[in-house]
Chains A and B, each alone.
Chain A
Amino acid sequence: MAEVNLLAESVKFMLLGMGVVYLFLYIVILAVKLQAYLINKYFPETTPASTAKKPAPSRTDEDEKARIAAIVAAVNEFCKNKS
């Protein structure tokens, strides 16, 4: 077999490999920026969705508070009766 300079070969691998990795990631970065621009332009941030969502959790929050209060009261009553 002809003498192959393995070291030179591996350096070539390195250049190719790092080049492709960077190229790939750079293209992905551009694509991500483009998609962020397009999506935010044509499908603007979901403000209606967030306003529609909000009332529901707040109501359940209050329910939850009321329930906890009821439980605490009941437990207190129970403890008082016991002692």
Chain B
Amino acid sequence: MRIKQLLISLFFALFALTTMVQASGNPAPSGEATEQSSEEHVYKSKSMAELANSFWKTTGINAILDTKDGEMTSEPAGHDAERPMTAFESSLGRIIMILIVFLLFYLAIAKGFEPLLLLPIAFGGLLANIPLAHMAGEHGMLGIIYNMGIANEFFPLLIFMGVGAMTDFGPLLANPKTALLGGAAQFGIFGSLVGAVLIGFDLQQASAISIIGGADGPTSIFIANRLAPDMLGAIAVAAYSYMALVPVIQPPIMKALTTKEERQIKMGVQRKVHRLEKLVFPIVVLVFSILILPESTPLIGAFALGNFFKESGVVDRLSDTMQNALINIVTIFLGLGVGSKLAADKFLVLETMGIMVIGLLAFSAGTAAGVIMAKIMNKFSKEPINPLIGAAGVSAVPMAARVVNKVGMDAKPGNILLMHAMGPNVAGVIGSAVAAGVLLSIFK
């Protein structure tokens, strides 16, 4: 009883103290407030016609119809980076972009193409094309999001952390040589780099575009932002739409490069992996990336962090947050921020077409190189290797592995390749992070 009374009296004493402090603090600001309110806006009387006219000037219909209103582009970097929009950008361009956005909505909702990413990106694009609102500007919602985590490459790293926490390296550890397949698929990046240079991009832009071949959204955004920020929107959209199209793009290439017998090859059962191996692996990868390629450590470091937390088994709450809550929140922001680059003045340029073409080339080349590498390995390996699993070397976790599994099942029912394909798949994530590090180190 006594303790209770004591607590209550203590509470009241604190309450009295805080109110006194507040009361003594109050008078000073109130004085400033009266000074400010004395500067009133001068308001002139307006006729009804004038009011209606000025309102008409601020409508979206007028902004789209009047091509000579001198509207400025919205730039998250601030007013200095802005330029007047061309007539096309402020009128027809917006309408085209809004139609493209609706197409993305359709693909995401009706066709189920990576809806988790395409929907935020597409909606960001819709918001970015609203006239006069300057949502993608320095003080607009999209601009704030962009500056918060994309301009400084923060969000891609958070995504990588979540992906790390979701990844199980068991299949790779059980059969480490499949990592080479994840390396071969990075030919998609470097082969299409040559292609991009051929059609007239400069080296820096070509590098940024070709990273699409890594089939890794966060890495693409990370690199594009460093090497060619103007192309970020197109590169991110290309990367994510081709990742969504993995089940469409890959099977024909895989079938063209393999015979039916090769597709029917069954692979043995994987050995059981010791828990300690899984725990040590992220640290091993991180140590090597520190020694060989510190430029890639932001990506690999975040990835290793997520994976280490997961495998440690003592911080389930943290790893659960990374896998779910955190990655979901960041996905919303990342999508909206990337969507802000779908504004007509940034997306409807000739380069976008080139980026789409090179992206597709990069993806196909990566798949093909992975399959060919797997065929070579099958020739020299003691245990049989189904060449199909090479296609999973493009990262796109776990979509590419699932596609491999499906093609394998089509060739021979019961031929389950999923776990075997996960090895090259997660190696592909590391491989594309390393490739990204190489590209960054060249342009440092």
Q: Taking beta carbons and an 8 Å cutoff, which residues of A are in contact with B?
A: 6-7, 9-11, 13-14, 16-18, 20-29, 31-33, 35-36, 39-40, 43, 45-46
Contacts and interface: CB of A to CB of B under 8 A. Distances in A.
A10 B206 contact: yes
Interface of B: 172-173, 176-177, 179-180, 182-183, 186-187, 189-191, 193-194, 196-198, 202-203, 206-207, 272-277, 280-281, 284-285, 288-289, 292-293, 427, 430-431, 434-435, 438-439, 442
9 contacts: A18-B186, A20-B293, A21-B434, A25-B180, A25-B430, A28-B430, A32-B281, A43-B274, A43-B276
Contacts of A29: 176-177, 179-180
Nearest to A26: B180
Nearest to B439: A17
Contacts, number: 111
Contacts of A6: 197, 202-203
B226 to A, nearest CB: 15
A35 B277 contact: yes
B292 A17 contact: no
A25 B272 contact: no
Contacts of B427: 25
Contacts of A11: 194
B293 A39 contact: no
Chain B contact residues: over half helix, strand or loop, or mixed?
Answer: helix
B274 A33 contact: no
Given A7-B197, A25-B182, A25-B430, A13 B281 contact: no
Contacts of B442: 13, 16
A35 B434 contact: no
Contacts of A22: 180, 183
A39 B276 contact: yes
Given A25-B431, A28-B179, A16 B203 contact: no
Contact of A33 (B176, B273, B276): B176
Contact of B173 (A16, A26, A32): A32
Nearest to B271: A36
B284 A35 contact: yes
A80 B351 CA distance: 75
A10 B193 CA distance: 7
A28 B203 contact: no
Nearest to A30: B176
Contact of B183 (A16, A21, A45): A21
Given A14-B190, A17-B193, 8 more contacts: A6-B197, A9-B197, A13-B207, A21-B435, A25-B183, A28-B179, A29-B180, A32-B176
